[in-house]
Amino acid sequence: MDTYHYKYIAIEGNIGAGKTSLATRLAGETGARLILEQFEDNSFLPKFYEDQERYAFPLELSFLADRFHQLKKGVSSHDLFSPFTIADYFIHKSLIFARKTLNDEEYKLYFTMFDIIDTVLPKPELLIYLYCSVDRLHANIRKRGRSYEQKIASEYLQKIQDGYLDYIRKQQEMRIVIIDTNNIDFVENPEDYPKLKKIILDEYPVGVHRITP
């Protein structure tokens, strides 16, 4: 039986980075319990891309509530038949997106609610960040063809990217691996996926590790 270094791994990245595809394949091959964000069920999302100022606050609140309930149920409960849990998001993405989409007053209120939720959820033992350029993200978004995503501006993607990287720079007590995926395609190219799998399942000390496959 394979042994794994971590009980809870979160895969993060910008919109279109490939989080869900990678987490799903990895869980399928390892028998890990898989937690996928249910963003397609959020009725505010298409409205947000049409009018960000109006719908940012209800969107971020609804995402926060959904993520909290899903992670509390999925990560906190014990599964004897799964060697570890892998999620295609980390609850702190809620804070990263909210900081970039909400005004100061809205963010202050949002942070108060987030801080309460954050204290009761387990933290991932390893956080993976899939780094892609904005041009590559746009190409991935076009390829998967969700109509409401096609108008996402480059400026918005860059703001989110900057938010993630700023968050990562401030972390002192987490294991974080930034994987540069600009020159690989783990969905289309069979030889690229094993490289990512090996990187993710490796053992790391606390700190930020930058890897180019």
CATH of 8-211, one of 3.40.50.300, 1.10.3720.10, 3.40.190.10, 3.90.960.10: 3.40.50.300
**Percent helix, strand and coil across the chain, each rounded to 5?**
50, 15, 35
Please state the domain extents for the chain: 8-211
pLDDT averaged over every residue in the chain: 92
> pLDDT, tens digit, for every residue of 136-183?
999 999 988 888 888 899 999 999 999 999 999 999 999 999 999 999
66 is annotated as an active-site residue: no
**How far is Cα 18 from Cα 12, in angstroms, rounded to an integer?**
9
pLDDT at 80: 55
Q: What is the mean pLDDT of residues 4-28?
A: 95
- pLDDT for 76 equals 65
Q: What is the pLDDT of residues 17-27, one digit of tens each?
A: 999 999 999 99
Q: Which of 88, 115, 185, 202 is catalytic?
A: 88
More confidently predicted of 109 and 146: 109
**What are the pLDDT digits (tens) for 58-84?**
999 999 999 999 998 877 666 656 889
DSSP result, 96-113: HHHHHHS-HHHHHHHHHH
Kindly report the pTM of this predicted structure: 0.92
